[in-house]
Amino acid sequence: MNDSLRAEPEPSASSSPVTGGDKGVSVVERQWQSVINLGPAETPLHTQQLRLTVAAFNVLADGLDVNGQWSYIDPATVTFERRKDLLLQEIDRIAPDVLGLAECNNFTEFWAPELARRGYHGVFQPKSHGPAARFGAQPDGVALFVRTAAGLELIGEPLRNAMRPVAISALVRAGLTAESTINKSSTPAMTSSPAFLFRVAMTHFKAGKGDSNTALRRQDTQMLLTQLDAAAAAAESEVQATIVMGDFNCEPTEDCHAPWRERGFLCAVEDMPWTTWKFRDTPTEPGTAPPPGTAPLTQPKEKREKIDYIYVLNGPGAQVAVEAFLDVPADADIPRALPAPNYASDHLAVAARLNCFTAPLA
C-alpha cells in the first residue's frame, strides 16, 4: 500500500497525556493513521461489527538492556527499573484489547500484576534458552494478554512453543451483539451467544543477517503455520479470524513473508516505514583480536528496519478490515535512535485498530 491510501492523521495517541517514568518523562508522541480500502467494506451479509485494538511490543528484556552494546547510550540509563514506567505508558496510551509482548521477562513479578491492575489477563512462554539469562536475568520469552475488563476471555489452554519459533497462541472469545464495540473507552454488552471467536499468536523469530538465518526464519514461519493448522483441525469450532503478530526479525523483502501472503493474511501495519532503530558499537575489524591490554576498536553501526508485524486472516463467515495503525514518531522527537529518554525500548510497539464483520444475528 502507498501513501495515497492514507487518510489524514487522527489526533495524537497521547492526546490524553500519561506521565511518569524517569524524572517525569512522557512517552514520545505518535499519531494514529487512518487506513483507506485495506479490507472489506460493510455489506448486507456482514453487518455485525466488533472493533478491536491489537498491539505487539518487543519491550527489550531486563538484562539485554544494559548489555546492548549501544552507541551513545550510558547503560545505567536503560536499566529495566528506569524504563518500566515508560513501557507502561506506551501500553496505556494504545489501550489494546489484545497485547503481545516479546523479550518479556519479570512476568510474575511485574508484567502480570501491572497489567492485571489495568484489566488484563495474560499467559507467558519463556524461551528454552532465553538470552537474557546469560546476564543473570530471568529468561525472556513471549506473553499474550487479553483485556478481560472489556469482555474478552481466553478459551482453554494456550498452545506453547519454547523452542524455535518461540510462540504462544490462544483462542479468544468476545461477546457480540449488534453494533457492539470493544475499545479503550467502552465495554460491549455481553451475551451468552453469539460470540466472535478468534485465534491470536505472539511470536519472536530468529535474529541475525545472512543466508543461514534467513533460512531459519523461513523454517520458523512454516513451523508456526503448521502449528496453527493443527490447532484449527483440532478445534471444536471454526475461528472467525486469526491474528499473528510479533518480532519477525525480517524486513518486508525477505521471503519469510511469502507464506503468510500466500495464505491470504493481511499485514495490518503495511505502511509503517520502520519498527526498530538503533546504533550499536561493532568491531571495526571483525575477527581481529586487539593488542593485549587494549579494548577492541569499534564504530557505531545503525540499524533502522521494519521487522515487527501484525498479520490478520479472515475466517468463515467473517471479514476483518484495518481501520488505523499507530505510526512512527517524528525523527525530530527521538534524540538519537532507540532506546531514548522518551521511549523505553529499541522497538516501537506496533498497533492496529480492526473492524470485524460477521453474519447478521438471527
Distance CA 157, CA 308 (A): 26
pLDDT at 302: 94
- pLDDT tens digits for 336-354? 899 999 999 999 999 999 9
Least confident of 45-49, 56-60, 80-84, 123-127: 45-49
| In the chain, beta strands by DSSP E | 6-12, 31-35, 48-58, 98-104, 120-126, 141-147, 152-161, 166-175, 195-204, 241-247, 266-267, 276-283, 298-305, 308-314, 318-326, 350-358
- pLDDT tens digits for 79-102? 999 999 999 999 999 999 999 999
Percent of the chain with pLDDT over 70: 80
Specify which residues 160 forms β-bridges with. 168
Take residue 80 and report the three cell numbers written for it.
529495566
Task: For residue 341, give the nearest of 16, 94, 27, 62 by alpha carbon.
Answer: 27
Exposure string (b/e) for 49-76, b if CB count within 10 Å is 16 or more? bbbbbbbbbbbbbbbbbbbbebbebeee
Least confident of 39-43, 295-299, 344-348: 39-43
pLDDT at 1: 38
How much is the mean pLDDT over the chain?
85
pLDDT at 129: 86
Take residue 329 and report the three cell numbers written for it.
514518531
Specify which residues 279 forms β-bridges with. 302
Is CATH 3.40.1010.10 the classification given to domain 47-284+301-358?
no
Least confident of 4-13, 73-82, 278-287: 4-13
Placement of cell 484495518 in the chain: 322
Least confident of 216-230, 285-299, 320-334: 285-299
Specify which residues 282 forms β-bridges with. 299
Least confident of 149-158, 161-170, 183-192, 251-260: 183-192
pLDDT at 199: 97
Contacts of 69 (CB under 8 A, 6+ apart): 280, 281, 282
Listed by start position, the domains of the chain span 47-284+301-358
Better-predicted residue by pLDDT, 42 or 306: 306
pLDDT at 182: 45
The CA distances from residue 344 to 196, 230, 264, 310, 324, in Å, are 34, 37, 34, 21, 23
Mean pLDDT, rounded, for 228-234: 91
Beta-sheet strand order (sheet of 241-247): 152-161, 166-175, 195-204, 241-247, 308-314, 266-267
Alpha helices in the chain (DSSP H): 80-94, 112-116, 211-234, 258-262
Distance CA 147, CA 294 (A): 52
pLDDT at 282: 83
Mean pLDDT, rounded, for 129-147: 95
Distance CA 319, CA 321 (A): 7
Alpha helices in 158-269 (DSSP H): 211-234, 258-262
